[in-house]
Structure 1
Amino acid sequence: MDFAGETVRVLHVDDNSDLVDVTASVLEHEDDRLRVETAKSADAAMERLSVERFDCIVSDYDMPDQNGIEFLEAVREDQGDLPFILYTGKGSEEIASDAISAGVTDYLQKGSGTEQYKLLANRICNAVDASRSRQELDERTRRLESLISSLPGMVYRRLNAPGWPMETVEGEIESLTGYTAADFETGEVVWGDDVLHPEDRDRVWETVQDALAAQGEFEVTYRIITADGIEKWMWEHGHQVPGAADKPDALEGFVMDITDLRERERKLERYKRMVNTMPESACIYDTAGRFELVNQYLSLVLRNNQRRTGRETE
């Protein structure tokens, strides 16, 4: 996450008119990302915050209408986690402690040298970059959770070890297996021992290990037994994630219920067998009137006709 080229809008709040103007000028000189606006009081700052978006607030502590801590508390109530740096000439352990309790992002004492302005510019950019990273991560997490909630199955992370113990599972776990996510994550229920069909365990283990050794990912179909004793067919796709030196590798993947699909395929196969054993012709035509599908009886008739026609033309 690189925010190096993005503008950072700063609202500097201080009742000292000369100081806010100087600070704005020096900060913008120190870092060309910074665009500094000013307000002479907490009330004026709150008015601007109600109609404008800022990336960071820099505020004095000793102001006439509200002090910096009171202003910080109002910002937290109205603006959430907006980065807030208390930049004050009145430094004390008590003020610092109150600021931390109120949720200040950073605390810095004023100074007369250019180094202090450089430090302030650096603190602002660091605070904003961290805030943007959190927001981006939160948004990615929200999108991922939304995607998972809409998937007709479950996603997981489990150890690639006998029994395949789950570390995390999300999605339609209960409707899929009859067990809860907590059942798997606490180890009360083990996927390979308690859910995977006994007749499929060896085959699935060998299939997954062979695929991982060859390409680092796998695809497999198998049966499970739910908590209610119902047999279901699953399709699973996953990949290998290297583990720590003293732990087995992990697997991350997706499991989907294909029981209905398997049943439709079974019925279709049975229908095909029935049609192919019919002692008479059966076929399907396409829109142009050509054969699209023929049964075995008609196929044999057509081949015999072709042979007979071929002999007649010789």
Structure 2
Amino acid sequence: MSTSQEPIRVLHVDDSTSFVDLTADYLRRESDRFEMTGAAGPGAGLSELDDDTDCVVSDYEMPGRDGLEFLESVRADYPDLPFVLFTGKGSEEVASEAISAGVTDYMRKQPGSERFELLANRIENAVEAFRAHRHLEQRNRRLETLISNLPGMVYRCRNAPDWPMEYVEGECESLTGYAADTIESGGVAWGSEVIHPDDRDETWATIQEAVDAREHFEVTYRIVTREGAERTVWERGRGVYEDGDVVALEGFITDASGFE
């Protein structure tokens, strides 16, 4: 079980209220992280479902609507929410249908406490994975927002004289005249085609000195845009190291023509 102490809010939907209570008792014994809400059937389950729910556990056979139909209703508003089908009706057909429908996990109800221990573990793993994915999406959105507001471009490139770009984002085209994917694909080489010929050697030497010292670097040099115009840029970056060797450079480049 995870050492995290963040609560896990579980909505358990089953037409047997006694089984809902039993499940809640067992899960709470496993961890005091579990905060259980019970619902007697899909209709009540949808009424209880909200943005604070971390995981849904549902029976399969229920009056009016089965567990997979309930899943479809849940997915309409919460497409990625962990959903565990915990059912007394088990067959390869039901399991296959559940997996095809997109359940996070499928478990058979069986006598004994071991099944509830496994259920607790499955819920916790599913919720931790969901939270990690959500955190990564939020981080990426913040990063994209930050990049979109920067007056320049961010990059990752290999540390070679041509500086082949692996990733380019931001105001690349307005800065250089080239689209980001043109530079990323190798259609244009930054080191030998974008940087001004007279500035290439000095720029390379300055950056290599900083990389060897494992320090950030700052360089100012001229580039030649797609239209043939000269423009002065300022670049700040750092080396990325693996096993003691530099494998890439990452940094930011912005127009410095107005500061000459």
Query: Do these two structures clear the TM 0.5 threshold for a shared fold by scoring above it?
Result: yes
For 2:31, the equivalent position in structure 1 comes to: 31
List runs of 5+ in structure 1 lacking aligned partners.
263-314
For 2:247, the equivalent position in structure 1 comes to: 249
Alpha-carbon distance between aligned partners in 1 of 2:215 and 2:86, rounded to the nearest angstrom: 53
Structure number with higher helix proportion: 1
Is 2:189 the partner of 1:190?
yes
- Opposite residue 114 of structure 2, the aligned amino acid is E
- Identical aligned pairs, as a percentage? 55
**Structure 1 residue 160: deviation in Å?**
0.2
For 1:73, the equivalent position in structure 2 comes to: 72
Aligned partners of 2:153 and 2:254 also within 8 Å: yes
Aligned partners of 1:161 and 1:248 also within 8 Å: no
Q: CA RMSD in A?
A: 1.6
Aligned partners of 2:60 and 2:86 also within 8 Å: yes
4+ residue runs of structure 1 moved beyond 6 angstroms? none
For 2:230, the equivalent position in structure 1 comes to: 231
- Opposite residue 67 of structure 1, the aligned amino acid is D
For 2:19, the equivalent position in structure 1 comes to: 19
Q: Aligned to 1:6, what secondary structure does the other structure show? A: coil
1:176-219 CA distance string (max 9 Å, x none): 10001110111111100110000000000001101111233211
For 2:130, the equivalent position in structure 1 comes to: 131
- Opposite residue 54 of structure 2, the aligned amino acid is D
- Opposite residue 6 of structure 2, the aligned amino acid is E
- What does 1:1-314 correspond to in 2, within 5 Å? 4-49=4-49, 53-243=52-242, 249-262=247-260
**Structure 1 residue 53: deviation in Å?**
2.4
- Opposite residue 211 of structure 1, the aligned amino acid is A
Aligned partners of 1:14 and 1:39 also within 8 Å: yes
Aligned partners of 2:239 and 2:246 also within 8 Å: no
Q: Aligned to 2:231, what secondary structure does the other structure show? A: strand
Alpha-carbon distance between aligned partners in 2 of 1:88 and 1:244, rounded to the nearest angstrom: 49
Alpha-carbon distance between aligned partners in 1 of 2:89 and 2:111, rounded to the nearest angstrom: 14
Change (3 A) 1:82 1:3: farther
Aligned partners of 1:243 and 1:250 also within 8 Å: no
1:131-188 CA distance string (max 9 Å, x none): 1111111111100000000000000000001200000000001001000111011111
Tell me the matched-pair count.
Answer: 259
**Structure 1 residue 16: deviation in Å?**
1.2
Q: Aligned to 1:193, what secondary structure does the other structure show? A: helix
Aligned partners of 1:76 and 1:103 also within 8 Å: no
Alpha-carbon distance between aligned partners in 2 of 1:130 and 1:75, rounded to the nearest angstrom: 19
List runs of 5+ in structure 2 lacking aligned partners.
none
Alpha-carbon distance between aligned partners in 1 of 2:30 and 2:96, rounded to the nearest angstrom: 29
Alpha-carbon distance between aligned partners in 2 of 1:3 and 1:217, rounded to the nearest angstrom: 37
Aligned partners of 1:235 and 1:257 also within 8 Å: yes
1:226-247 CA distance string (max 9 Å, x none): 00011000100111112589x9
Q: Aligned to 1:189, what secondary structure does the other structure show? A: coil
1:97-123 CA distance string (max 9 Å, x none): 221222111111111111110000011
**Structure 1 residue 92: deviation in Å?**
1.6
Q: State the TM-score, normalizing by the size of structure 1.
A: 0.80
Change (3 A) 1:30 1:18: same
- Opposite residue 224 of structure 1, the aligned amino acid is I
Which structure carries more relative contact order (alpha carbon 8 Å, separation 6+)? Answer: 2
- Opposite residue 228 of structure 1, the aligned amino acid is E
Aligned partners of 2:214 and 2:239 also within 8 Å: no
Q: Aligned to 1:161, what secondary structure does the other structure show? A: coil
Alpha-carbon distance between aligned partners in 2 of 1:122 and 1:249, rounded to the nearest angstrom: 39
Alpha-carbon distance between aligned partners in 1 of 2:161 and 2:191, rounded to the nearest angstrom: 7
Alpha-carbon distance between aligned partners in 2 of 1:64 and 1:182, rounded to the nearest angstrom: 54
> Of the two, which has the highest radius of gyration?
1
Aligned partners of 2:158 and 2:248 also within 8 Å: yes
